[in-house]
Amino acid sequence: MTDKQHRIQALIYSIVTYFQNHGVGMCGVDLTLDRLKGIDLSDEKLIDLPPQETRHDEVLKNAIAGIVAPELRDIKIHLAAAKDDLIWREDNAQFYPPGADLGEGYAKCNLHTLLIGPAACGYQHPGFRLGIFMMGPRTLYRDHNHDAPELYLNLSKRSGWRFGTPDWQDYPAGSFIWNAAGRPHAIRVYEQPFLSVFVWLENVNSLCNVIPSDDWAEVEQDLAKQPN
């Protein structure tokens, strides 16, 4: 195993360990751990692909530096160590149909890397996705849903969420968000970048559906006024 492969594997293991130590008994986490039991994460199955840099490298560095919760320390250490080994992509076209209105902020700065899944840079799997997702500061990830059941682990200090209603709720670092298949959800990012682990448990090639809301402009204007 190369040093690069070892760093990627250590990052994956740090995430799985967090799930085991902090999420057992939670809907979505248990399902994820059950799926992971059926995936071969041995050294022999770890692939070796060339890394892919991102134009958002400075934002990504700031997002990793912004992981301050003590319980997330191991994930932070291994993510920082593996950052330049990973394949980073923007998902504007990959996960949405042509012409989907994702908003200027989202198109300006979003990023993900896939650690397990189709075309992953860690372990290839056709029916499961586990990776890291980032958005730039003061961004609204507009209301949407998808057929893939989805689990988030918040790495950043604070993010706002809503689930098919106008009401927002903030979630702290280390918290889990479970979106059952078809559940509407939106995220608002404050003055610091948003960083998370994400999991798609099935239907991993399905597209996301944007759900229009008449308050998008107001939310985006409020986010633009956030203090530094």
> Which domains can be identified in the chain, with CATH numbers?
3-224 (2.60.120.10)
Average pLDDT, integer, range 52-74: 97
What is residue 74's predicted lDDT score, i.e. its pLDDT?
98
pLDDT of residue 167: 96
**Can you point out the beta strands (E) in the chain?**
88-89, 110-117, 123-124, 129-135, 140-145, 150-154, 158-162, 169-172, 176-179, 185-188, 194-200, 209-210
Q: What is the Cα–Cα distance from 116 to 81, expressed in whole angstroms?
A: 18
As given in the structure block, the two tokens for residue 196 are: 């998370």
30 within 8 A of 17, measured Cβ to Cβ: no
Total number of residues shown for the chain: 228
Q: What pLDDT, on a 0 to 100 scale, did the predictor assign at position 93?
A: 62
Report in angstroms the alpha-carbon separations of 145 from 7, 82, 120, 190.
33, 30, 23, 22
Determine the Cα–Cα distance for residues 101 and 42; give it in Å rounded to an integer.
41
Q: How far apart are CA 128 and CA 115, in angstroms?
A: 10
Q: What is the pLDDT of residues 149-195, one digit of tens each?
A: 999 999 999 999 999 999 999 999 999 999 999 999 999 999 999 99
- The proportion of the chain whose per-residue pLDDT surpasses 70, expressed as a percent, equals 99
Distance CA 52, CA 87 (A): 4
Query: Average pLDDT of the chain?
Result: 95
> Phi and psi for 88 in degrees, rounded to 5?
-100, 135
**Phi/psi of residue 107, nearest 5 degrees:** -65, -30
Backbone φ, ψ for residue 79 (5° rounding): -70, -45
